[in-house]
Amino acid sequence: MAQVQRMSRLMIKTLRDDPADAETLNHKLLVRAGYVRRTAAGIWSWLPLGKKVLENITHVVREEMDAIGAQEVLLPALLPKESYDATGRYDEYGDLLFRLKDRKGADYLLGPTHEEIFTQIVKDQCSSYKDLPVILYQIQTKYRDEARPRAGVLRGREFQMKDSYSFDTTDEGLAESYDLHRAAYIKIFERLGLDHRIVSAVSGAMGGSASEEFLAPAPAGEDTFVDCPACDYAANTEAVSFVATAVDGSAHGPVEDLDTPDTPTIETLAAHLGVPASATLKNLLVKVDGEIVAVGVPGDREVDLGKLGEHLSPAVVELVTAEDFEGRDDLVRGYVGPQGLEKVRYIADPRVAAGTAWITGANKINTHAKNVVAGRDFEVDDYLDVVVVEEGDPCPKCGTGLKLDRAIEIGHIFQLGRKFADAFQLDVLGQQGKPVRVTMGSYGIGVSRAVAALAEQTADDKGLCWPKEIAPADVHVVAAGKALQTELALDVSEQLNAAGVRVLVDDRAGVSPGVKFTDAELIGVPTILVAGRRSAEGVVELKDRRTGEREELTVAEAVARLTA
């Protein structure tokens, strides 16, 4: 049986003021309430109460993973470079990867995810279709060298994560494993008390086909997602697609040059001509693996470089610089148009559909052109949805204007397919006696991020306010001052503890009742029991932390209520 947690012995130091560098609610409150302390930028120490919350989340995750037949393992965090070279991800991860050498000069990395290592383990352990399907998972520390760690434990360089991987011999089997995880994630986040949305997503460096994110709406969220108010469509903004159809452009006149001095930007051009920005065609020049590529979007829209990068992955996308124009007479800075760009690949957003006419650069200094028609005056090499999504853009499913919201990514599931199996030649002997290439799924939950997301969603102006299953205790008992109250508080705590109720008791001597009450609300245990002014009568006060509702009960009534 666990012992009563006594604050007189607990390593906890609460703060009255927010940390100077804290911007988000979870950062402020988790530090003030004594759950975590900063060790370095993006690196956090979990103190006793914080560790309990982390373990409670881990317990829920572990139970639901075990329920779908997943088997828990623990893999090393220190990994050999060769495994990630085999998939190309050693280079693809770029600066996000922590890289190091041992004393012999061999290259290693700190694992950001473990697809490669799990694939190698299954290759070593499974040789027949009879060994599959199998789902393996671990709950472990991951590492990513974030350029700007922020928001407390929400975006750290070291973090706790549950990552699981499914291995099947057929695409149908992969779909079943994916659905098992999807259902398990819904149960996990419901048990954790997290308000969440399931949205379509892109796979990024993970590869594969089907991909969905589990997002917890919160102002501190770093992800932006769209939600349709008229249907069930929801997606990460990078996954939103726009479908445009060709229009009849025969009515447009021939291309006509316009004298437009000193108008190298859309804003100056639109003002000079007295036209809306939407009538112009913006042509952004980027380098894709060093090759200059033009990207065309309507002048009133911005190019989403994240979406462009996802479309062109694993190629590296970067903006051109002034030096890139040197020796390129075909590229006139500020006056680029798609017509006549013979040496440059031209990518366009679907809104630049065949038949649409635009005002755009004439590839001559101080000159633009009008009546430049897509499909007549220039050809698009590739159509890619690359604009920044805006509030009111049409829903791809029903056409209703979309709403934008911010959220914290708390989970992500992928149907990886055979990318990693191909890299390591992961085959098993099939039913027909011939080798069968295994197909995989990858499924992650940010365990430490879930702590931050819960803090963001459930806290109020007084402090944290944990759901019961996640809180560091079920009841926070407060001894309001004198020896009699402390004696009663400890007696009630022992009775509750004996009945299996997790108890945190504030028995600190020399601390005023006001400070204890403030700390109780800051720490956020769902029920507060106060041994106060009526302790001599054997009466205590029960307070619901979330609603603020109070009720006076005898000790026997309170114990019965809390152990029912």
pLDDT digits (tens, 9 = 90+) for 5-30: 999 999 999 999 999 888 899 999 99
What proportion of the chain, given as a percentage, has pLDDT over 70? 98
Question: Residue 47: pLDDT above 80?
Answer: yes
| Site of tokens 């029960």 | 542
Give pLDDT, residue 171: 94
Q: How far is Cα 403 from Cα 428, in angstroms, rounded to an integer? A: 47
Give pLDDT, residue 536: 87
* Cα-Cα-Cα-Cα dihedral sign, residues 292, 294, 295, 299: positive
Give pLDDT, residue 463: 97
Which two three-digit tokens encode residue 265? 């930007």
Determine the average pLDDT of the residues in 257-281: 93
Question: Residue 543: pLDDT above 80?
Answer: yes
Which two three-digit tokens encode residue 151? 């928001």
Give pLDDT, residue 503: 97
> How far is the CA of 12 from the CAs of 33, 34, 46, 239, 449, in angstroms?
8, 5, 11, 44, 22
Q: Are 524 and 464 in contact (CB under 8 A)?
A: yes
Give pLDDT, residue 407: 94
Helix (H) or strand (E) holding 417: strand 403-417
Backbone angles phi, psi at 55, to 5 degrees: -70, -35
Predicted structure pTM score: 0.86
More confident site: 480 or 201: 480
Which two three-digit tokens encode residue 278? 């939407």
Q: pLDDT tens digits for 201-247?
A: 875 544 556 889 999 999 989 888 998 889 988 888 888 877 777 78
Category of 183 on φ-ψ map: left (φ > 0), alpha (ψ -120 to 50) or beta: alpha
Give pLDDT, residue 209: 65
Q: What angle do CA 73, 146, 293 make, to 5 degrees?
A: 110
Which two three-digit tokens encode residue 548? 């603020």
- CA nearest neighbour of 169 among 121, 125, 131: 131
Q: How far is Cα 491 from Cα 479, in angstroms, rounded to an integer? A: 11
Which of 24-33, 203-212, 261-270, 444-453 is least confident?
203-212
Determine the average pLDDT of the residues in 98-117: 95
Name the 3-class secondary structure at 253: coil
Which two three-digit tokens encode residue 282? 């913006």
Determine the average pLDDT of the residues in 47-76: 97
> Which DSSP string corresponds to 37-58?
EEEETTEEEE-HHHHHHHHHHH
Which of 97-111, 198-212, 278-292 is least confident?
198-212
Q: pLDDT tens digits for 321-361?
A: 988 888 888 888 889 999 988 789 999 999 999 999 999 99
Q: How far is Cα 561 from Cα 563, in angstroms, rounded to an integer? A: 6
- Listed in sequence order, the residues at least 6 apart from 404 whose beta carbon sits closer than 8 Å to its beta carbon are 224, 225, 226, 227, 237, 389, 390, 391
Q: How many CB atoms lie within 10 A of CB 215?
A: 29
Q: What is the mean pLDDT of the chain?
A: 92
Give pLDDT, residue 204: 54
- Listed in sequence order, the residues at least 6 apart from 196 whose beta carbon sits closer than 8 Å to its beta carbon are 189, 214, 215, 216, 217, 410
Give pLDDT, residue 39: 94
Determine the average pLDDT of the residues in 292-317: 90
Name the 3-class secondary structure at 10: coil
Give pLDDT, residue 130: 96
Which stretches within 241-315 are classed as H helix? 266-273, 305-312
Determine the average pLDDT of the residues in 422-435: 95
Taking each helix axis from N to C terminus, what angle separates 48-67 and 171-192, rounded to the nearest 10 degrees?
Answer: 140
Determine the average pLDDT of the residues in 415-437: 94
